[in-house]
Amino acid sequence: MRSVADQLAAVLAAAAPMPPLDVVLSDADGCIVARDVVAEADVPVVPMADRDGYAVLAADARGAGELPVVDDVPVTGSRLRHVPGTAVLVAAGAPLPVGADAVVPLEASDRGRAKVALRAAVAPGEGVRQAGQDARAGSTVLAAGTRVGPRHLALAAAVGRSRLWVRPTPRVVVVTIGDELVEAGRRLRDGTVHDADAHALVAAAREAGAAAVRVGPVPDDRAVLREVVADQLVRADLLVLVGGLSAGPWDTVGDVLAGLPDVRVDQVAMTPGGRMGFGVVPGAVLPVDDGAPGVIVAALPGHPVDALLTFEMFLRPALRAMAGQVTLYRPNVRAAVARAWASPAGLTQVVPATVVGSPGEGYTATPLEPGVESLAALARANALVVVPEDTTMVAAGDLVSCLVLEG
Ligand SMILES: Nc1nc2c(c(=O)[nH]1)N[C@H]1C(S)=C(S)[C@@H](COP(=O)(O)OP(=O)(O)OC[C@H]3O[C@@H](n4cnc5c(N)ncnc54)[C@H](O)[C@@H]3O)O[C@H]1N2
Ligand code: MOO
């Protein structure tokens, strides 16, 4: 039996960050930046009017007064030289004439084209977007480790980058296994159950930052499973097999994994769940690059609570590491438990719970059916209490460590 800590260390040791790729902006969304992006020039490159109006020297427009309008600049116009004592009609986004330091908005004028009466004073800098205001030349605008989202795409495009070096999104294939599995929506016959794991694990992998697809359900047939594994190894960075991991003659995963020398099945000291296959199949991706990490193969127990909690404890951090995320774990809070429960000796117990409170007042965790595998309880929880191996009793008021779930 392996401790949770040892298993997590083994999993993380295999979960190398994906080798960086240079991708077009549209493919970078959601990925982690692998190389800093430095702005080559100021953005905007020159000061710009940020409103339609009159570019002036603020000192010339201190009181209400009239100025001759000597030129006008549309948004695509070239940069003029401003003559003190004059005004230039400018569009919002037009380059500010050199020497002007403010823009009086149209609404504060009589909108004259030859000369203009200004009704308001402006301070230097008013109505102007300064050069480098969005990004300064030479500055790092996106640091390695940043997760690319809409704001970062805007900035990358604004500094003129059409491509970014990112860690590509890990690809996950989820294979559910079992003769008894039936797609949700289909009628159940004797002994069949709806396949709950495929949907859950694909969503969990996506939430962890991966691109995930499902394959199956695959029947309890070794030859079929072998073929599915061989097919999927070429398109996955992480291949997750779910179910078929029991000890009976019907269970196929142990035998199929035995054909992959670096993949082993362990009983991890965790409850619920615990039985887990894990390893790396080197060179499964052709052609083999230098340093190509190979494909991680993991096998999870089939019950949806076991499958989800085993994914949560081991594969979610692994996927985040592969994606290049800096933070691998969920936020953790300490909470006082609302009522007591027992925890098995020698096993890390994971208990769905509802946690309420605030950083100021502290948090309270109410366990949901501890010791019982209930998918409804797991779905209702907003946190998971992690009870250490050596704790056999959690008393009311004890402080426990809780992983905070989303949603
Ligand atoms: N004699 C022994 N039997 C078992 C041992 C053992 O040591 N000796 N270990 C037990 C442990 S611990 C676990 S964990 C399981 C591992 O087997 P699986 O979870 O892989 O077994 P399955 O039969 O595939 O599934 C268990 C349960 O979950 C249901 N299931 C499976 N897949 C799905 C799915 N996609 N959606 C919904 N439900 C699913 C399945 O129908 C079963 O009811 O082995 C123990 N046995
Ligand atoms: O290992 Mo099993 O997943 O204990 O229930």
Express each pLDDT in 297-350 by its tens digit. Answer: 999 999 999 999 999 999 999 999 999 998 999 999 999 999 999 999 999 999
Rounded (10°) CA dihedral 289, 295, 296, 302: 170
Chain CA centroid to CA 7, Å: 24
- 88 with 53, same domain? yes
Peptide bond into 19 cis (omega under 30): no
For 173-208, the pLDDT digits (tens) are 999 999 999 999 999 988 999 999 999 999 999 999
Strands 362-367 and 393-394: unpaired
Domain-embedded: residue 327: no
Q: What is the pTM of this model?
A: 0.86
Which residues does ligand 1 sit against, CB inside 6 Å? Answer: 176, 178, 180-181, 193, 195-197, 242-247, 274-275, 301-304, 306
Considering only CA atoms, which of 230, 194, 232, 233 is closest in space to residue 215? 232
Domains in the chain, number = 4
Atom nearest to 306 CA in ligand 2: 3
Residue 284: its pLDDT value, please? Answer: 52
d(CA 221, CA 166): 40
Q: Tell me, in angstroms, the distance from the centre of ligand 2 to residue 312's CA.
A: 14
Peptide bond into 272 cis (omega under 30): yes
Atom nearest to 301 CA in ligand 1: 19
Our mutation pick for probing the ligand 1 site, out of 252, 275, 314, counting the most ligand atoms within 8 A of Cβ, is 275
d(CA 175, CA 216): 6
- 338 with 380, same domain? yes
Considering only CA atoms, which of 321, 306, 157 is closest in space to residue 238? 321
Residue 359: its pLDDT value, please? Answer: 92
- 352 with 393, same domain? yes
Our mutation pick for probing the ligand 2 site, out of 275, 310, 373, counting the most ligand atoms within 8 A of Cβ, is 275
Atom nearest to 373 CA in ligand 2: 5
Residue 61: its pLDDT value, please? Answer: 85
Q: Tell me, in angstroms, the distance from the centre of ligand 2 to residue 373's CA.
A: 11
For 347-377, the pLDDT digits (tens) are 999 999 999 999 999 999 999 999 899 999 9
Residue 283: its pLDDT value, please? Answer: 66
- 381 with 346, same domain? yes
d(CA 85, CA 31): 52
Strands 348-358 and 270-271: parallel
Residue 305: its pLDDT value, please? Answer: 97
Ligand nearest to the CA of 176: 1
Backbone angles phi, psi at 18, to 5 degrees: -60, 140
- 60 with 119, same domain? yes
Domain-embedded: residue 230: yes
Atom nearest to 196 CA in ligand 1: 36
**The token pair that represents 204 in the structure block:** 């969990």
Chain CA centroid to CA 313, Å: 17
Q: Tell me, in angstroms, the distance from the centre of ligand 1 to residue 304's CA.
A: 10
What CA–CA distances, in Å, run from 299 to 272, 284, 350? Answer: 15, 17, 19
Domain-embedded: residue 249: yes
Residue 58: its pLDDT value, please? Answer: 94
Ligand nearest to the CA of 267: 2
The single residue listed with the structure tokens 């429960």 is 341
Residue 216: its pLDDT value, please? Answer: 84
Chain CA centroid to CA 211, Å: 11
- 175 with 259, same domain? yes
Considering only CA atoms, which of 156, 140, 138 is closest in space to residue 28? 156
- 76 with 111, same domain? yes
Q: Whose CA is nearest to atom 33 of ligand 1?
A: 302
Residue where a domain stops, chosen among 322, 348, 370: 322
| ipTM for the whole complex | 0.93
Ligand nearest to the CA of 175: 1
- 185 with 317, same domain? yes
d(CA 162, CA 24): 6
- 211 with 308, same domain? yes
Domain-embedded: residue 85: yes
- 141 with 232, same domain? no
Residue where a domain stops, chosen among 289, 322, 355: 322
Domain range for 229 is: 4-19+168-322
Return the CATH number at 66. 2.170.190.11
**Series of mean pLDDT values for 10-residue runs along the chain (407 residues):** 96 94 95 96 96 96 86 89 95 96 96 94 95 97 95 97 96 96 91 95 96 94 94 94 88 88 92 94 58 84 97 97 94 97 97 96 95 94 97 97 89
Domain-embedded: residue 215: yes
